[in-house]
Structure 1
Amino acid sequence: MNTIYQDALQRGQESARAAVLDCAIGLLIADGPAALTMRRVATEIGASTKVLYTMFGAKEGLADALYREGFARLRRAQERTPFTTDPLARLNDLGAAYRQHALAEPAYYRVMFEQAIPGYRPNAESLASAETAFDASVAAVETCIATGVFRPGDPHEISKLLWAAAHGAVSLELAGHFPPDTAARRFAALMAAVGQAFLADDHQPDGGPTA
């Protein structure tokens, strides 16, 4: 009988790498940071430690791969969000997709944002790679500005502020502070309130000036 790694390897190197990362994130969440060792992961998937060292270099490389994988999955989730010609609806849809992805991938969310791996700190290259997960959001903000829905401003800065709001609400939900029957409503209300701060005057709900 083939091991998990051997089965994955038959589908290609990318599948083999994904199998390692899936195993590693599972161990991290199930058994804690102490379980995240090259030897333990190798044993679980049925590969040699040499295979893992070749892939990632060392445990730090494995941690970095998990961090990058989390943001890569988020980027794909954003890119899969159905496109709409309404720029504000597009931005809201991307925010909702962020929340849905975080709830679907809480283990990766912890690695990305909650320092689930003690001692790991993403380097400048990894942080830059993480930024690309929000390219769709920046583009949506740019469209809101170009079409006059938002006042002129820095689309990257606006996107980051929207991200900060989304992240705060999602983190509270994952921690159990926002129960399921209120979480979605609170998330939508928060995002609407933050987005209103950037609306052009003629797009304000009451037609009045922006505060």
Structure 2
Amino acid sequence: MESPARYAFMFERAVPGYEPDKDLRFQARCASYDLLARRVRPAVPPGTAARGAYLVWTTMHGLISLELTHRARTPPPGWFLQPGDDSYDRIFRDGITAILAGLRA
């Protein structure tokens, strides 16, 4: 939320044709995705941490993308989320909780 431009640079290929250095991408993965997998591991069945981390990562990505879009523009009429930190925080927490509960089931 503090840096939508950085988020766009990381996930949206904001610079066509730019491919980051492989070592830099590896370091970034270790500092983000691998950290997430380690944090997810205790909450999921043995052997499913990589899958769980991927599902949490994609859920977070989708929720954050929608929040950034809605904060930058007016949400569509009748949208189930009302603009505001409480609404976004709640749906983010609910989304991640649902993914982890589903993985435990």
Give the TM bin, normalised by the shorter chain. Answer: 0.7 to 0.9
TM-score (norm 2): 0.73
Instruction: Structure 1 unaligned segments of length 5 or more: list them.
Output: 1-102, 200-209
1:105 aligned onto 2:3: yes
Aligned residue pair count: 93
Q: Distance in 1 between matches of 2:92 and 2:68?
A: 12
Q: Distance in 1 between matches of 2:2 and 2:94?
A: 21
Deviations 1:28-72 (A, max 9, x none): xxxxxxxxxxxxxxxxxxxxxxxxxxxxxxxxxxxxxxxxxxxxx
Query: What CA RMSD, in Å, does the superposition of the two structures yield over aligned residues?
Result: 2.0
Q: Report the identity percentage.
A: 31
Deviations 1:111-169 (A, max 9, x none): 10112223213354343222112332222223x1xxxx522223222112111101100
1:139 aligned onto 2:53: no
1:190 aligned onto 2:95: yes
1:156 aligned onto 2:55: no
Q: Distance in 2 between matches of 1:154 and 1:123?
A: 29
The one-letter code matched in structure 2 to 1:185 is: R
Question: Higher Cα Rg: structure 1 or 2?
Answer: 1
Secondary structure, in 3 states, of the residue corresponding to 2:14?
A: coil
Residue of structure 2 equivalent to 1:118: 16
Please tell me whether the aligned partners of residues 44 and 52 of structure 2 are also in contact (alpha carbons under 8 angstroms).
no
Q: Distance in 2 between matches of 1:119 and 1:135?
A: 26
TM-score (norm 1): 0.40
Residue of structure 1 equivalent to 2:61: 167
Secondary structure, in 3 states, of the residue corresponding to 1:119?
A: coil
Higher relative contact order (CA 8 A, sep 6+): 2
Instruction: Structure 2 unaligned segments of length 5 or more: list them.
Output: 76-80
Structure 1 runs (4+) deviating above 4 angstroms are: none
